[in-house]
Amino acid sequence: MRAKKNPLHPVRRPLLPPGQRSRAAHLLTAAAGEGRFALPCCTACGRFAWPMPEACPACLGDIALATASQGARVLSATTAEVPADAYFRERAPWRVGLVQMDCGPQALVHLSPGADTGDSVWLSLKLDRAGSAVLHAGREGEDMTTDPQWRDMVADPRDRRVLITDARHIAALPLARALAKAGAAAIYAGLPDQWKPLDTRAALESVPGLSLVPLDVTSDRSVADLAAQIGGKVEILVNTADLPRPGGLMGPSATADARAAMDTVAFGLLRLARGFGPAMAGRGADGTLGAVAWVNVLSVFAHAAPPALAGYSAAHAAALAFSHALRADLGQGGVRLLTVFAGPTDDPWFQTFPQPKVTGKALADGIVAALLNGQEQAVVGDLARDLMERLRENPKAVEREFAQGRM
Amino acid sequence: MAAPRGYDGVVLAVPVTVPYARFSTRPAQWWVGRALAALAKESGLSHTAFDGLSMASFSLAPDSAIGLTQHFGLSPRFLDFLPLGGVAGIVGLRRAARAVQAGDADVVAMIAADTNAPQSFRQSLEHFSRFSQDAVYPYGAGGPNVSFALIAAAYMAHTGLTRADIGRLAVAQRSNGLRNPATLMKKPLSLDDYLTARAIAPPIHLFDCVMPCAGAEAFLVMREDTARAQGLAFVRLTAAIERHNGFPDDAVMLRGGWQRDIGTLWAMASCAPGDVDMVQTYDDYPVISAMQFADLGFCTPQDLPDFLRSHDFTVTGDLPHNTSGGQLSLGQAGCAGGHLGLVESIRQLLGTAGDRQVSGARRALVSGFGMINFDRGLGSGAAVLEAT
């Protein structure tokens, strides 16, 4: 149950933990953001190393990240009662441990309350509120959601208020249900074009804590009106606004479709960012349930455009570009930007696309899991994962495959 | 490993302390200037006659040692810069000793100086080291308190040391410090005060921690003939060791690098731990002082509790330790903390330590320790000094 805020207390301004890292250490940031556990490892002798070195201390070989065992044992533990850094000082006492990792090196870790010297622990690579990777250790099977240090690094919807920007999206209903199940205090579902029928209206209205609110992301006025009403309450914003209109560059309506997609997907994001961003960034440390995450649901085709989705892909690529600036702005307040890349969804607009397509439920579950895990990137659907992997391996081949009509 | 040549003919003279201040509006360069002026005044030499400069500091930026030569009108032919914290004193001494011994310099001014403003301690943490930036500071472990708490907890479990055992060192040191007019800490400290102090990061409590401050320590290194020609009282360097990252494979720091080199130290000094009249350890946490007693050969780690209970570490006791009061009483003036034990030992061996003079002091053991880069202190060093 969400406790009422004492109106006499000022809103706590967001402070961030130290975010400065070496360039190489940001390889860990990428892994943590994607929810992968990988540690620095020598490409020559295979030994793991910590902290991130520029060469292997055993053989001076090159270092790259490699998947590592998550097991460790606590060598020593303490509680920082009076940390020097302001972020930790206002959250003290703060548990810190020194662990012996099963893969070899020792590391300082954020230590869960249930773990102590001699315990076997399970390591996670998390993004902290500054958006940089850190190690967390807890006992295997321990409920981390009760650890305040863990909670400060993930984006748990429990007791938080969530805005889903487009209730007509295929994932909106399952997402609302999943968020309610995860304990969200309130769910606002934005509804453009109120006069149009909404097949899922009854089902949505039966989700505990959900209210439908008018929101058209293509309208400056509509976004501003809703932000004025609930902008100070939204702790998680999930932008599901989309306009899938398949078609190549040469089609008769290509310009109009691309412009419409841009207006919804790219400029819609821009309007939302201007309307909701400042309040969220300002509330990043508002009690223990401050603003915590902004989720953009984007098409995986933001990364590579098939000719049959030219305008649509361009709109998503534009939104992805905007989201980098938004991540930096929200990051000032410790609010995470999570980008969820989905493959073609199982709805009429992608009717001609080959299976497997992404169901609304799969997408919703992917979003909630990524929030609970504190990620800043998630990829949902086999096709999307496959495409990301192919792009990583050989982007030129993807371009040619798309040109030949292959997904 | 070849046995090092002796330090024959190398002497230390003119111990100087620029009185510490909790905070200073002056930069480190100002404190260097005061130290140089005191060295010149006390030695009767013009500062331009110092043809060697060994500089230890964390807070000289944007300068390194070389800029100071022009800043203070020096023309040295030996120049050393050692931003190495508590091991800088011993490391600098070893290099300067060889320089004067070989004739690369005649008189080396050894200076450690740092300033301290209300924000500077925290700022220096942010830029302390690459590993600290990547893997210590982001864990709420900025500053050495948490790192030393993790080491102390493991070491206490390993040796059976209790806080009361360790507290004996802190209490004796404060008693010594009360005899030293230069200390910033003026209040007596009882074992009860020590044990009931505020927890900082258990087992580290308030009186385990040094207070950052501004200040400078300095002395001169030269050959014996030079000192005699100038009519300067001096003490001899008979042995010195240093080691960095001595035990990289240890999972947690249960010993310092001293253990690798103590055979060399005592062989060079031609004596044993029981033959010294005083010990100056690097006391940035008394638990680390305890570790130094074990690593320098006074007892085994497991005998430490008995060892600490069976000695009196005050200046009138059987094993005077940190006779100036140490950093725990004087404050920690950055890198100067590593020179403090050397400067104090020179004073004691010259018989100029005033109210805290250890009677009949002939031989001192000084150790240095520095740089928690990640999970352990990397630098360890020690030197044996003898009165003439």
Domain assignments of chain A as residue spans, ordered by start: 26-151, 161-403
Measured between beta carbons, the chain B residues lying within 8 angstroms of A49 are: none
Q: What is the pLDDT of residue A1?
A: 67
Task: Kindly state whether B203 is in contact with chain A, defined as any CB-CB distance less than 8 angstroms.
Answer: yes
| CA-based nearest distance B143→chain A, Å | 7
Based on the fold, state whether residues B161 and B77 are members of the same structural domain.
Answer: no
> Taking residues B257-270, what's their average pLDDT?
97
Cα separation, B76 vs B60, whole angstroms: 19
Cα separation, B16 vs B112, whole angstroms: 10
CB pairs under 8 A between A and B: 123
Based on the fold, state whether residues B152 and B294 are members of the same structural domain.
Answer: yes
Cα separation, A283 vs A285, whole angstroms: 5
Long-range contact pairs involving B342-345 (C-beta distance under 8 Å, separation at least 24): B342/B12, B342/B89, B342/B90, B342/B93, B342/B110, B342/B217, B342/B219, B342/B280, B342/B366, B342/B383, B342/B385, B343/B15, B343/B16, B343/B17, B343/B217, B343/B218, B343/B219, B344/B15, B344/B280, B345/B235, B345/B278, B345/B280, B345/B385
Q: Do B200 and A82 touch (CB under 8 A)?
A: yes
A 10 A CB-CB count for A291 gives 30
- CATH 3.40.50.720 correct for A161-403: yes
Measured between beta carbons, the chain A residues lying within 8 angstroms of B251 are: 75, 100, 106
Measured between beta carbons, the chain B residues lying within 8 angstroms of A84 are: 121-122, 125, 142-143, 145
Domain count, chain B: 2
> Strand A236-239's sheet: what is its strand order?
A210-214, A186-191, A161-164, A236-239, A293-299, A336-342, A377-380
B79 occurs within a structural domain: yes
Q: What is the pLDDT of residue B3?
A: 86
Q: What is the pLDDT of residue A28?
A: 98
Element (H, E) at B242: strand B234-244
Task: Kindly state whether B141 is in contact with chain A, defined as any CB-CB distance less than 8 angstroms.
Answer: yes
Q: Do B369 and B288 meet the contact criterion of CB atoms below 8 Å apart?
A: yes
Based on the fold, state whether residues B195 and B268 are members of the same structural domain.
Answer: yes
Q: Do A85 and B252 touch (CB under 8 A)?
A: no
Q: Do B90 and B367 meet the contact criterion of CB atoms below 8 Å apart?
A: yes
B4 occurs within a structural domain: no
CA atoms within 13 A on the CB side of B58: 31
Interface subset of B 246-265, CB within 8 angstroms of A: 248, 251-252
The percentage of chain B sitting over the pLDDT mark of 70, rounded to a whole number, equals 100
To 5 degrees, how large is the angle CA A54–CA A59–CA A61? 45
Q: What is the pLDDT of residues A211-236, one digit of tens each?
A: 999 999 999 999 999 999 999 999 99
Q: What is the pLDDT of residues B130-171, one digit of tens each?
A: 999 999 999 988 778 999 999 999 999 999 999 999 999 999
Q: Do A297 and A238 meet the contact criterion of CB atoms below 8 Å apart?
A: yes
Q: Do A80 and B122 touch (CB under 8 A)?
A: no
Q: Which of B122, B133, B134 sits opposite A84 (nearest CB)?
A: B122
Q: Do B140 and A82 touch (CB under 8 A)?
A: no
pTM (two decimals): 0.94
> Taking residues A283-289, what's their average pLDDT?
91
Q: What is the pLDDT of residue A3?
A: 79
Reading phi first (left if > 0) and then psi (alpha if -120 to 50, else beta), residue B213 is in: beta
| CA-based nearest distance A44→chain B, Å | 20
Asked if residue B126 has pLDDT above 80, the reply is no
Q: Do B199 and A134 touch (CB under 8 A)?
A: no
B125 occurs within a structural domain: no
Based on the fold, state whether residues B247 and B317 are members of the same structural domain.
Answer: yes
| CA-based nearest distance B248→chain A, Å | 10
Based on the fold, state whether residues B104 and B222 are members of the same structural domain.
Answer: yes
Q: What is the pLDDT of residues A3-42, one digit of tens each?
A: 788 888 888 899 999 999 999 999 999 999 999 999 999 9
| CA-based nearest distance A332→chain B, Å | 16
Q: What's the pLDDT band for B1 if we cut at 50, 70, 90?
A: confident
> Taking residues A98-102, what's their average pLDDT?
98
Task: Kindly state whether B121 is in contact with chain A, defined as any CB-CB distance less than 8 angstroms.
Answer: yes
Q: Do B248 and A83 touch (CB under 8 A)?
A: no
Residue of B139, B151, B247 to mutate, testing the A interface (most A Cβ within 10 Å of its Cβ): B139
Q: What's the pLDDT band for A163 if we cut at 50, 70, 90?
A: very high
Count each helix (H run) and each strand (E run) in chain A, helices first.
12, 14
Rounding to the nearest 10 degrees, give the CA dihedral for residues B47, B50, B56, B62: 60
The angle that helices B337-350 and B88-102 make with each other, rounded to 10 degrees, is: 60
Q: Do B138 and A132 touch (CB under 8 A)?
A: yes
Q: Which of B143, B201, B251 sits opposite A106 (nearest CB)?
A: B251
| CA-based nearest distance B137→chain A, Å | 7
The percentage of chain A sitting over the pLDDT mark of 70, rounded to a whole number, equals 100
> Taking residues B234-256, what's their average pLDDT?
97
Element (H, E) at B67: helix B65-71
| Tokens describing residue A41 | 């490892």
Alpha carbon of A248 to those of A279, A305, A311, A355, A401: distances in Å? 39, 10, 7, 21, 16
| Buried/exposed B198-209: b ≥16 CB within 10 Å, e otherwise | ebbbbbbbebbb
Based on the fold, state whether residues B196 and B261 are members of the same structural domain.
Answer: yes
Q: Which of A17, A91, A117 sits opposite B138 (nearest CB)?
A: A17
Based on the fold, state whether residues B183 and B219 are members of the same structural domain.
Answer: no
B135 occurs within a structural domain: no
Element (H, E) at B121: helix B120-126
Q: What is the pLDDT of residue A351?
A: 87
B311 occurs within a structural domain: yes
To 5 degrees, how large is the angle CA B350–CA B356–CA B358? 55
Q: Do A97 and B150 touch (CB under 8 A)?
A: yes
Based on the fold, state whether residues B99 and B166 are members of the same structural domain.
Answer: no
Asked if residue B26 has pLDDT above 70, the reply is yes
| Tokens describing residue B328 | 């725990």
B279 occurs within a structural domain: yes
Q: Do B142 and A78 touch (CB under 8 A)?
A: no
Residue of B126, B134, B210 to mutate, testing the A interface (most A Cβ within 10 Å of its Cβ): B134
B137 occurs within a structural domain: no
One-letter amino acid at B72 equals: F
Q: Which of B135, B150, B200 sits opposite A81 (nearest CB)?
A: B200
Q: Do B145 and A77 touch (CB under 8 A)?
A: no
Residue B141: closest CA among chain A residues belongs to which residue?
A83
Determine the structural domain holding residue B366 and report its residue range.
144-209+238-387
**Residue A365 or residue B125, greater confidence:** A365
Bridge partner list, A39: A66
Based on the fold, state whether residues B309 and B362 are members of the same structural domain.
Answer: yes
Based on the fold, state whether residues B72 and B151 are members of the same structural domain.
Answer: no
- Mean pLDDT over the full length of chain B: 96
Cα separation, B352 vs B325, whole angstroms: 16
Residue B99 belongs to domain with CATH number: 3.40.47.10
> Taking residues A98-103, what's their average pLDDT?
98
Task: Kindly state whether B72 is in contact with chain A, defined as any CB-CB distance less than 8 angstroms.
Answer: no
Q: What is the pLDDT of residue B297?
A: 97
Based on the fold, state whether residues B197 and B330 are members of the same structural domain.
Answer: yes
Alpha carbon of B302 to those of B8, B197, B290: distances in Å? 36, 26, 11
| CA-based nearest distance A67→chain B, Å | 19
Based on the fold, state whether residues B199 and B227 are members of the same structural domain.
Answer: no
Q: Is the dihedral of CA A325, A329, A330, A332 positive or negative?
A: positive
| CA-based nearest distance A79→chain B, Å | 5
> Taking residues A72-83, what's their average pLDDT?
96
ipTM metric: 0.92
Q: What is the pLDDT of residues B297-337, one digit of tens each?
A: 999 999 999 999 999 999 999 999 999 999 999 999 999 99
Q: Do B81 and B64 meet the contact criterion of CB atoms below 8 Å apart?
A: yes
One-letter amino acid at B308 equals: L
Q: What is the pLDDT of residues A315-333, one digit of tens each?
A: 999 999 999 999 999 999 9
| CA-based nearest distance B114→chain A, Å | 20
